Structure formats: C-alpha cells, structure tokens
Amino acid sequence: MRAFVAFELPDRFVDDAVRLARQLSAAVPGRFMPAENYHITIAFLGDIGEDDARRAMDALDEACSDLGPIPCAATGLGKFGRASDATLWLGIAQAPALMEAAACVRDRLRGQGLSFDDKPFMPHVTLARRARIPRSGLDGLVFPEPCELTRATLFKSTLDQSGAIYKALYNVELAR
C-alpha cells in the first residue's frame, strides 16, 4: 500500500483554507484538492506492507507520547514547478515546536527501520495541482487563522483517475 505520515488540520483551519482555495480558483486555473485531502505531510513512506505499517504506527506512538498541541500558522502561498504547471501550496510557519515534532516522528520512523522520502521537511498544505499561476498579483486573499495541530496520522493513499484518495489508518492525539 502507498502510505504517508502527516499532521491533520483542525476543521476551522480547513474551512478557512477552502475559502482561500475558492478565492484562488477564480484567478488560477488548475485541479484544486478536495478539503478532505488537506494535511501537512511529515514523511512519504511510499509502498509499504502490513509489517511496515505496524512499525510506522509504533513510531507515531513513540514520537507523539510527550507532544502537546503544536502551533500552526499560514505564511502565504508558494509553488513547486513552473508557473505554467505548478503545485500551488499554502505555506506553514516553521515554528520550533512543529519542526521538532516532525523531526522526532522522522527519527522514530528511521528507528523502526522505515525509509521515506528524505527531502527536508517543509510544512505546507497542497491546494492545487497543474495550476497555472498568473503573472499579476493575487490581491485580497484571506488566509486561515492560526490554530493548533492535535493529531498525527498514518494515511493510505490510493491513486485513481480523479486523483489521490486518502484513508486514515491510524492516528495519535497530541495532548498533554
């Protein structure tokens, strides 16, 4: 199964991000992600078996056992790729608590013998794929209000012709 580990976003933040995406869709052609796909990826595991999934669950338990809610604040928009065919994302502030929590989860995944896409962690929420970003500015955008992240989740990702479908396999609440 194709899998990844992510921080889930609270409903209020998702609702705000949906409003932002709606604003953007008026000026930016592209394939906008459904709200249920909004998350902050910590580590993309790729194709794993059931044993690896169990080890990923153990890693989440270990990493999150002492974590409380993590501050989360939007910082603006960014893109991967060319402006004519980009992945458009909402940046998330690299607050120390967020960066340390992600590093801890990644360390525990490695400790469980799991490999993952080892690109540096850059917190963001993917809003659209195959976006064509205009040269002119995008004015009047309303960004989500700051929130707290309270759940880390192992997701299964299934690809079909309409895009990716994510299913939560296991989650850990972040609460002291």
| Number of structural domains the chain divides into | 1
Closest CA to 103 of 42, 172, 40, 174: 42
Give the pLDDT mean for 95-121. Answer: 95
Q: Which residue has the tokens 């360390």?
A: 107
List the CATH number of the domain containing 127.
3.90.1140.10
Q: Which domain holds residue 48?
A: 2-173
Closest CA to 60 of 159, 128, 152: 152
**pLDDT reported for residue 147:** 97
Closest CA to 101 of 156, 45, 62: 62
**pLDDT reported for residue 176:** 59
Q: What global pTM score does this model have?
A: 0.94
The tens digit of pLDDT for each residue in 26-78 reads 889 999 999 999 999 999 999 999 999 999 999 999 999 989 999 999 999 99
